[in-house]
Structure 1
């Protein structure tokens, strides 16, 4: 690991504490332009998100009906009844995004898969950078808000599904995450800059409770009139 990554992990609660935990649950409210563009408009009702910390799995409920939830993993996504009965499922779900552009519509399983890998990435950051298979180097810093934000450039292993193979995470002088940049490779949505705010401490882990992802233009600057995804977390509990 780089010295910067060591400091970042310590600032967010430390590797020892992270490995004592297995999952996280949170109330989640999502919004933004992306879901309407994909034909899957998002209502403002809170939902309950559960994420495994040391393997890529996530679930949100309710989904599509009060008695339904999702089950996401890299090789399968499903919509289930709360008793486990399968309503719909898709194997090799990443392949179903082949040829998608920014205006391509989704079905509910596309939405469930995107939600699973995106929120898993967010709720396990920055600790996922220390997982096997990740390659992390320090890249050029970013000047923002009168501060210098140092950058960790992460190359994700093929077995971990996320927005893009290479992602940049920027950290302030306190080593807490400030911004997360990536390409929307699966969704055909261009490049994004996601700003994070309002940190809380839950069970010894520090994490932001607000995320706002904006499209970036050709120069890499965020377009603050193009809010693609907003996420608010509350009642965060690690187990």
Structure 2
């Protein structure tokens, strides 16, 4: 097992709202973000986590669409070339090409009760996880400026020769996500470098999610390389195994959503 070399450093001392404001500006600005209502991107996913859940993961590109004003997402194809998912915190569904329901689960979070890291998942478990996780990733850091989030300072860390300033966000109950408390670290340029959380739907194990390779899309900046690992309690990262990889491309934003809800 190898670990990343992380060296805690003193907190920067700046108010956390200032850091969040800097991060928002570094990603293109909250005003620009709010000019749009939907975001879509192509993703290719891999990693060991899926096999641990008894799932087969391929390297086919998929299209994810998310809304910004509410927690909604859709991923296609899913399971069948003509199927797609439709996610909200209260419902997960798999729909066919004519929008008929293939499978559906209300109160989907309850279906993870008692799960551990290796508890097998069915397609609706996976669809729900994909739905909230991708929505969280694609709306970060802008979602942190929305009502109901509580933001506090974290000590900075050093990794790869850089100092990464941190903030902790407490998510409001209305949002389905990995865990209520999540940590975000930003590089000297104000852009996201790392996102830490616990996977509550898989036994609560700690994860460190490293992001890089930013591109600009319509005036906003997004990471295109995402790599999630297990995290030790001292904040070091277990570089083996690679739990989840997500490569993002073809990012587009629009004022009017194109989903078929």
Same fold (TM over 0.5): yes
Alignment match, 1:219: 234
Q: CA deviation at 1:189?
A: 5.3
Q: CA deviation at 1:39?
A: 1.1
Alignment match, 1:117: 132
Alignment match, 1:105: 120
- Are 2:107 and 1:92 aligned? yes
Contact 2:208 2:231 in 1 (8 A): yes
Distance 1:114 1:40, change over 3 A: same
Structure 1 range deviating more: 203-212 or 130-139 = 130-139
Distance 1:2 1:218, change over 3 A: closer
Match among 36, 57, 64 for residue 49 of structure 1: 64
Aligned mates of 1:82, 1:55 — CA distance in 2: 24
Aligned mates of 2:200, 2:158 — CA distance in 1: 26
- Are 2:40 and 1:29 aligned? no
Aligned mates of 1:136, 1:149 — CA distance in 2: 17
Q: CA deviation at 1:158?
A: 0.7
- The runs of 5 or more residues in structure 1 that have no matched partner are none
Contact 2:118 2:202 in 1 (8 A): no
Aligned mates of 1:152, 1:41 — CA distance in 2: 35
Alignment match, 1:78: 93
Structure 2 counterpart SS, 1:226:
coil
Superposed CA RMSD: 1.0
Task: Tell me which structure has the larger Cα radius of gyration.
Answer: 2
Contact 2:155 2:166 in 1 (8 A): yes
- The runs of 5 or more residues in structure 2 that have no matched partner are 1-15, 255-261
Q: CA deviation at 1:82?
A: 2.2
Structure 1 counterpart SS, 2:131:
helix
Match among 47, 58, 68 for residue 73 of structure 2: 58
Residue correspondences, number: 239
Instruction: Normalising by structure 2, report the TM-score.
Output: 0.90
Q: Higher strand share goes to which structure? A: 1
- Are 2:223 and 1:200 aligned? no
Aligned mates of 2:123, 2:72 — CA distance in 1: 18
Aligned mates of 1:73, 1:223 — CA distance in 2: 32
- Are 2:20 and 1:2 aligned? no
Aligned mates of 1:226, 1:163 — CA distance in 2: 20
- Are 2:143 and 1:128 aligned? yes
Instruction: Normalising by structure 1, report the TM-score.
Output: 0.98
**Which aligned runs of 4 or more in structure 1 are off by greater than 4 angstroms?**
none
Alignment match, 1:13: 28
Structure 2 counterpart SS, 1:225:
coil
Alignment match, 1:209: 224
